[in-house]
Amino acid sequence: MRALAIGLVFLVIGSVGSVFGEVRYPGIFTWQYVESVHWLSGFFDQILGILIAVVVFYLIAYIFGARKIHILNMTGGFLVARGPIVFLPFLNFNGWLYGVSENLIEVGMEGEELPGFGESVVMVLVSILLLLCFVWTISLLFSAYRESTRLRGIPSLISFILGIIVSLILTGWMIPDYYFG
């Protein structure tokens, strides 16, 4: 229950971060920088993403032999596991990260001039931080999944990977582009 309470705090932080950093959460461990976002979109994205993931992981764990699945522990664990990524939108202060990313895409696609050295170094450092947070989140998700389902060994790994794939597909399909107007 403590994980659920902490996870709800991360849910609120993620909602504030979505507005501040102009980000959407189209999956359980993904985020996407956008030009603008409604203040409730980040909240609804996270709620839908967690609900879809918990249902998917519950069903897959059951198929793989888990019978005593602690659904509240899974929900709380998944919310806590998102902790590292809910702070990342704050790096997109004033749309800086989104703008630099778009600039780098233009450089790669259209062969335009590279950004300045300082900006490139900061972008590389931020990219490393993003990658570390992504890996950290995945490991926390796996830990929460194993603890709440009591699956061990190869079945836990295969079912977790399958759950990630299915939940990403479903959240991409079910989370709308816009909730409001």
- Give 66's pLDDT tier (boundaries 50, 70, 90): very high
Residue-wise pLDDT for 93-108, tens only, equals 777 777 777 777 776 6
In a domain, 37, yes or no: yes
pLDDT at 41: 86
Torsion of CA 172, 12, 139, 24, to 10 degrees: 30
Percent of the chain clearing pLDDT 90 (strictly above): 48
Instruction: Provide the sign of the torsion angle of the four alpha carbons 135, 144, 168, 9, taken in this order.
Output: negative
Q: What Å distances lie between residue 177 and 45, 79, 142, CA to CA? A: 10, 22, 28
d(CA 29, CA 133): 10
| Span 87-93, average pLDDT | 82
The position carrying tokens 């950004």 is 115
In a domain, 121, yes or no: yes
The more confidently predicted of residues 81 and 20 is: 81
- For the chain, give the mean pLDDT: 87
Residue-wise pLDDT for 14-45, tens only, equals 999 888 888 888 888 888 888 778 878 889 99
pLDDT at 181 exceeding the cut of 60 = no
d(CA 180, CA 72): 30
Distance of CA 6 to the CA centre of its chain: 16
In sequence order, the β-bridge partners of residue 51 are: none
pLDDT at 180: 61
pLDDT at 94: 74
In a domain, 179, yes or no: no
In a domain, 111, yes or no: yes
pLDDT at 6 exceeding the cut of 70 = yes
In a domain, 131, yes or no: yes
In a domain, 181, yes or no: no
d(CA 121, CA 135): 21
In a domain, 33, yes or no: yes
The boundaries of the domain holding residue 38 are: 2-174
Classify each residue of 126-152 as buried b or exposed e, where b means 16 or more C-beta atoms within 10 Å of its C-beta.
Answer: beeebeebbeebbebbbebbbebbebe
pLDDT at 140: 95
In a domain, 55, yes or no: yes
- Give 5's pLDDT tier (boundaries 50, 70, 90): very high
The more confidently predicted of residues 35 and 110 is: 35
The more confidently predicted of residues 52 and 96 is: 52
- Domain tally, the chain: 1
Question: Which token pair is 73?
Answer: 């522990």
